[in-house]
């Protein structure tokens, strides 16, 4: 059995049999009623872009999460890990939700028939101090107050990019909450191509992978070996390693037993990382890590058409709540890009609540800036759906 799950900070976890492999990286968006005017709230979250010069830099076609029966996009880190399913979490959605609460609603988001996902987003938060100021933009406000210009000013200054918000830019009553994160991880030396057969719940498949072979000469391996540290080793089915990059960002990979939730699994791994008996990667040791390559668009249908109960916002409902996540891990480094949006509009009548689509999965990836800071990205992997299969 293997599992997948994602968080915005930096851990990748694979479950093999009863064990879970975690790879951690430290690289360092509601409402209700009737109204005379149209109001749209777009919560745009451009989660993270981690860019690197990867040798395998092909980008796969973006697919809807509805077509991925074995992968779930999680709004918060509290997602349950379900056998045979993948879980992907990125903190950018939480960051935008936080700004919506703090800067617009001045409190928790209250919805009619409050869905569990809203409760989870309200009870959680992401401390932006876990990410360097230069690596993100997070803002929320009314269009009439210049929120679009404010967002684009930040994007231009930090990343030399801009965004268009066609759905709201002509509506002064619209509200926009937005977050954008950018990170870059590059290894000093490319790892070697390896051979790996990944065992998921229902299949066994050969996948692209990288690491360090135990047949290479010392002269060939010595520089690559320096990029690997064994953090805590109990057995070949229970261990955690660290991959070093050119920056201060860390990458942890842990093969451990999963807990009930993604958050519990991460915290247990991070505890071991702090207390584990570290040792060097030695000549003769063998390392093989699956390449990860996902490009997913997801709609948080549980939030759609929900009316606000917050005072002053009872005529608002959520028209759209979506997130895109692109993440790639290979022998040269990692690339992550994520974007999310929530639109709120005024309606003369309530609409029927949509059906809730739930995806539960376990393969874990966690990204963060420094070891003492909270992760901002994670991916839980329980199958090969996010991997590049060998042809």
Residue 262, pLDDT score: 92
Residues 6+ apart with CB under 8 A from 337: 46, 47, 48, 49, 50, 324, 325, 326, 327
Q: Which pTM value belongs to this model?
A: 0.74
Single out the residue of 43, 342, 313, 64 nearest to residue 177, CA to CA.
Answer: 43
User: Cα separation of 179 and 103, whole Å?
Assistant: 13
Task: Check pLDDT > 80 for residue 364.
Answer: no
Banded model confidence at residue 284, pLDDT cuts 50, 70, 90: confident
Q: Is 377 in contact with 25 (CB distance < 8 Å)?
A: yes
Banded model confidence at residue 160, pLDDT cuts 50, 70, 90: very high
Q: What is the mean pLDDT of residues 202-217?
A: 84
Residue 216, pLDDT score: 66
Residues 6+ apart with CB under 8 A from 308: 30, 31, 32, 33, 109, 110, 111, 314, 315, 316, 317, 344
Residue 378 Ramachandran class (φ > 0 left, ψ -120 to 50 alpha, else beta): beta
User: Cα separation of 200 and 258, whole Å?
Assistant: 14
Min mean pLDDT across 31-40, 285-294, 355-364 is at 31-40
Average confidence score pLDDT of the chain:
77
The secondary structure of residue 102, as a DSSP letter, is: I
Residue 87, pLDDT score: 84
Banded model confidence at residue 176, pLDDT cuts 50, 70, 90: confident
> Dihedrals φ, ψ of 95, to 5°?
-60, -45
Min mean pLDDT across 277-291, 315-329, 344-358, 363-377 is at 344-358
Q: What is the mean pLDDT of residues 36-40?
A: 31
Single out the residue of 345, 256, 328, 242 nearest to residue 291, CA to CA.
Answer: 328
| Of 191 and 34, the one with more pLDDT | 191
SS3 at position 120: helix
The total number of residues shown for the chain amounts to 391
- What share of the chain has pLDDT > 90, as a percent? 24
Min mean pLDDT across 74-78, 132-136, 147-151 is at 132-136
Single out the residue of 222, 220, 252 nearest to residue 239, CA to CA.
Answer: 252
> Dihedrals φ, ψ of 55, to 5°?
-70, -35
- What share of the chain has pLDDT > 70, as a percent? 76
| Of 46 and 105, the one with more pLDDT | 105
SS3 at position 158: helix
Banded model confidence at residue 264, pLDDT cuts 50, 70, 90: very high
Torsion angle in degrees (nearest 10) through CA of 57, 61, 67, 72: 40
| Of 302 and 143, the one with more pLDDT | 302
Q: What is the DSSP string of 258-294?
A: --SBHHHHHHHHHHHHHHS--EE--TT--EEEE-EEE
Banded model confidence at residue 156, pLDDT cuts 50, 70, 90: very high
């Amino acid at each position: 059995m293997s599992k997948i799950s994602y968080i915005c900070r930096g851990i990748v976890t694979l479950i093999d049999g009863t064990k879970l492999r975690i790879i951690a990286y430290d690289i360092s968006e509601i409402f209700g009623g009737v109204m005379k005017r149209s109001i749209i709230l777009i919560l745009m979250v451009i989660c993270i872009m981690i860019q690197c010069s990867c040798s395998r830099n092909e980008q796969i076609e973006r697919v809807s999460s509805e077509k991925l029966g074995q992968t779930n996009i999680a709004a918060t880190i509290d997602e349950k890990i379900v056998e045979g399913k993948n879980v992907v979490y990125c903190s950018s959605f939480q960051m935008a939700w936080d700004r919506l609460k703090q800067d617009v609603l001045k409190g928790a988001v209250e919805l009619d028939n409050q869905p569990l996902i809203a409760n989870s987003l309200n009870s959680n938060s992401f401390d932006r101090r876990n990410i360097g100021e230069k690596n993100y933009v997070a803002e929320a406000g009314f269009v009439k107050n210049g929120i679009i210009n404010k967002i684009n000013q930040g994007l231009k200054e930090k990343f030399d990019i801009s965004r268009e918000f066609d759905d709201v830019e002509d509506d002064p009553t619209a509200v926009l909450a937005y977050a954008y994160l950018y990170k870059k991880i590059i290894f000093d030396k490319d790892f070697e191509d390896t051979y790996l057969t990944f065992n998921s719940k229902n299949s066994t498949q050969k996948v692209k992978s990288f690491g360090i072979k135990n047949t290479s000469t010392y002269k060939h391996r010595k520089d690559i070996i320096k990029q690997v540290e064994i953090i805590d080793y109990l057995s070949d089915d229970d261990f955690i390693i660290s991959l070093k990059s050119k920056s201060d960002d860390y990458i942890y990979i842990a093969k451990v037993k999963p807990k009930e939730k993604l958050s519990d699994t991460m915290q247990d791994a991070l505890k071991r990382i702090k207390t584990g008996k570290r040792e060097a990667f030695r000549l003769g040791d063998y390392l093989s890590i699956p390449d990860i390559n996902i490009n997913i668009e997801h709609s948080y249908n549980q939030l759609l058409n929900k009316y606000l109960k917050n005072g002053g916002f009872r005529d608002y409902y959520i028209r759209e709540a979506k997130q895109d996540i692109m993440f790639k891990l290979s022998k040269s480094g990692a690339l992550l890009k994520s974007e999310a949006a929530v639109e709120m509009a005024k309606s003369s009548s309530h609409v029927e609540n949509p059906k809730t689509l739930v995806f539960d999965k376990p393969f874990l990836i966690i990204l963060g800036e420094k070891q003492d800071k909270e992760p901002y990205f994670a991916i839980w992997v329980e199958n090969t759906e996010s991997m590049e299969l060998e042809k």
